Amino acid sequence: MSNPISRRGFFGKSFGLGAGLMLFNNFKIFSSGGKAPKIPVIITDHTNETGHNAMKAGWEILANGGAALDAVERSTNIVEMDPEDTSVGYGGLPNEHGVVQLDASIMDGKTYSAGAVACLENIKHPASVARIVMEKTDHVLLVGKGALEFAKQWGFKEENLLTDKARKIWLEWKQNLNQYDDWGAPDHLADRQNKTAKRFEELAFTYGTTNHLAVDKNGDIAGITSTSGLSYKIPGRVGDSPIIGAGLYVDNEVGAAGATGRGEDVIKSCASYYIVMRMAQGRSPQQACEDAMHMIINKYKKINPNFFPSEKFIALNKNGEYGCAFLIRDTPAQICVANEGGIKVHTGSVVIKR
């Protein structure tokens, strides 16, 4: 989902938090708790009206005995079609050249298969193309022009994905271009306090994604992560969303996890894989999400103890238990959940509360 703050402005703000925060081992977890160990179940990070509609559609499949794989694809497609969502699919904010490039991954726990696409242009449903990659090839990831040609061969029609809303936001960004937006040192090494360029924090900026995870009545697990990626990114940039083990991971014997936020950190930490492995070791989905946050913080504390990337993780285990966490935010993370008890918003935790 979108977040109205500049990339550099966000991390600049987070730098000022270091003096008031304790080191890794002493972080306090702010959480509302809560579990719902029931299957079938489907969850998404989107808690808005579109997220509720997506859960309704996915739950309809699961309630009628359908497969988790079909449920997550249908629910993801609904979010991908929302023109008001500037972080996913149609309506997503473009790269710095004004071109919308989409990434998505899918994983089927039942068959231990995966598929993904990256830098896909002009196709509204990258998640569905990723499923074809998974089911009809022996590959996992297709990118750029190759992914587009593949999608067209399977009947996907090219469409203009840049909505008027996204185009106007991009033009505003271009008019106020900040030379530090994506060029220069990595964020965790940049000395922002010495940079004098104006930060345009009022401009819409997205690092969001949509994650959809489900367990069906047979106990089979599937997941999808789909995104338009970092807004105003350097053309060709690929984040964590299409990377199996980073933006998404599924193990049919354990559970599934998905990530949204600053993709570069998720890639380096293999966060979704780490979360699922923590669940395999007996941690609850909620605890596993928080463990991954601490792992990332711990990696940076000797390099830059004041750096806290903006991550959100969600997880679901084989028993239908779920959890979610923000690394740094004013409020706890939330997910939308659909099971036999209905559709509701579940509140998880925030590791560092601003």
DSSP calls for 72-139:
HHHHHHHHHT-TT-TTSSTT----TTS---EEEEEEETTTTEEEEEEEE-S-S-HHHHHHHHHHHSS-
Residue 179: per-residue pLDDT: 57
Q: How many C-alpha atoms does 55 have within 13 Å on its Cβ side?
A: 25
- Any idea which residue has 């994650």 for tokens? 211
Does residue 324 sit in helix, strand or coil? strand
Task: Round to whole Å and give the CA distance between 137 and 327.
Answer: 37
Structural domain spans, the chain: 7-353
- pLDDT string in tens for the chain (354-residue length): 444 444 444 333 343 344 333 333 433 344 444 454 589 999 999 999 999 999 999 999 999 999 999 999 999 999 999 999 999 999 999 999 999 999 999 999 999 999 999 999 999 999 999 999 999 999 999 999 999 999 999 999 999 999 999 999 999 888 877 655 555 567 677 654 444 333 334 445 566 799 999 999 999 999 999 999 999 999 999 999 999 999 999 999 999 999 999 899 999 999 999 999 999 999 999 999 999 999 999 999 989 988 899 999 999 999 999 999 999 999 999 999 999 999 999 999 999 998
* Longest pairwise C-alpha distance within the chain: 59
With 0-12 CB in 10 A as exposed, 13-18 as middle and 19+ as buried, what is 56?
A: middle
Distance CA 267, CA 352 (A): 21
CA distance 142 to 119: 9
> What does the block give as tokens for 88?
């996913």
β-pair partners for 172: none
- Phi and psi torsions of 82, nearest 5°: -75, 110
Count H helices and E strands in the chain, helices first: 9, 14
With tokens 């008890």, the residue in question is: 341
CATH number of 7-353: 3.60.20.30
Q: Say how far apart CA 347 and CA 354 lie, in whole Å.
A: 17
Q: Give catalytic residues, as residue numbers.
A: 209
Are 248 and 275 a contacting pair, CB within 8 Å?
Answer: no
